[in-house]
Amino acid sequence: MDVPFFDCHSHNPSRQGELVIVQADVERMVTDDASSPAFSSFSVKNVSSGNCCSTLPRSNKSPISYISIGLHPWDVERFDINKVFNTFVNNLQNDENHHIVAIGECGLDKLCTTSLDLQREVFIKHVELSERFSLPVIVHCVKAMDELLRLRREMRPTLPWIWHGFRGKPQQMHQLLDAGMYISFGFRHNAQSIAECPVERMLFETDCDERPVSLLYEQTGISPKGIKIFFP
């Protein structure tokens, strides 16, 4: 049976033929009727269900759109946080077909001007959603690894946290792996880190890149076998 090329984080809803978690557009989610599901914001079919999806439990639905919902740290001050989280909860509660498969991207970013206290507060709300709805978290973290790991120790999450777009060196990666995190690599990555990452803790993503994720598997020589697919 074919193993799908899994892309755990993409902002490009027009990609076809791969198993992709697409980032939902928060702007549209909150401006549309709050009761309308996040996936209605996607008029395009995100993933065509070829046989690549036949291994999935919900393969009977075609086409399949998988999305993640979360507030990027750079967007925290643009929105009314309570309204955003009410919309998220609404969507999660009404997501009968399980289109929402992850929380995020969300996290901590010391390059953005929003105070770290506020970022932390909002990130914690995402982690709470992750635990409540049993969904993994896609983490955006820039220059705040110690803070992230400290939060992780305090919160003791039971669901996976995926560090998205990891570009660091092996030493930094091992700290994350030791803390129980998963590592998602994009086209910009440290090759030695990929070489040292156990495949069962490794993921690939295209983020804003329009190239197919299969190219990343090809370039790195990693087989999609053994790559964990996060679905409820």
State both tokens at 228: 């964990």
User: Could you tell me the smallest distance in angstroms from the CB atom of residue 76 to Zn ion?
Assistant: 15
Listed in sequence order, the residues at least 6 apart from 30 whose beta carbon sits closer than 8 Å to its beta carbon are 79, 80, 83, 84, 87
Region for residue 107 given its phi and psi (left: phi exceeds 0; alpha: psi -120 to 50; beta: otherwise): left
# chain residues binding Zn ion, by CB under 5 A: 1
Q: SS3 of 175, please?
A: helix
Q: SS3 of 89, please?
A: helix
Stretch that binds Zn ion, among 93-101, 141-149, 182-190, 205-213 (CB under 5 A): 205-213
Stretch that binds Zn ion, among 43-51, 113-121, 201-209, 214-222 (CB under 5 A): 201-209
- 95 or 207: CB nearest Zn ion: 207
- 49 or 185: CB nearest Zn ion: 185
19-23 and 137-142 strand pairing: unpaired
Closest residue to Zn ion using C-beta atoms: 207
User: Could you tell me the smallest distance in angstroms from the CB atom of residue 138 to Zn ion?
Assistant: 8
- 18 or 207: CB nearest Zn ion: 207
Distance between CA atoms of residues 52 and 47, nearest Å: 10
Distance between CA atoms of residues 165 and 176, nearest Å: 13
User: Could you tell me the smallest distance in angstroms from the CB atom of residue 104 to Zn ion?
Assistant: 9
Q: How does DSSP assign 177-223, residue by residue? A: HHTT-EEEE-SS--HHHHHHS-GGGEEE--BT--S-HHHHHHHHT--
Stretch that binds Zn ion, among 28-36, 50-58, 118-126, 206-214 (CB under 5 A): 206-214
User: Could you tell me the smallest distance in angstroms from the CB atom of residue 188 to Zn ion?
Assistant: 12
Type of residue numbered 184: S
- Contacting residue, 7, 18, 95, 207, with Zn ion by CB under 5 A: 207
Indicate whether 7 belongs to the interface with Zn ion (CB under 5 A).
Answer: no
Stretch that binds Zn ion, among 37-45, 78-86, 184-192, 202-210 (CB under 5 A): 202-210
User: Could you tell me the smallest distance in angstroms from the CB atom of residue 153 to Zn ion?
Assistant: 25
State both tokens at 96: 């009968």
Stretch that binds Zn ion, among 62-70, 79-87, 200-208, 215-223 (CB under 5 A): 200-208
- 75 or 196: CB nearest Zn ion: 75
Distance between CA atoms of residues 157 and 232, nearest Å: 16
Distance between CA atoms of residues 142 and 127, nearest Å: 18
User: Could you tell me the smallest distance in angstroms from the CB atom of residue 186 to Zn ion?
Assistant: 9
User: Could you tell me the smallest distance in angstroms from the CB atom of residue 7 to Zn ion?
Assistant: 11
Site for Zn ion, rule CB under 5 A: 207
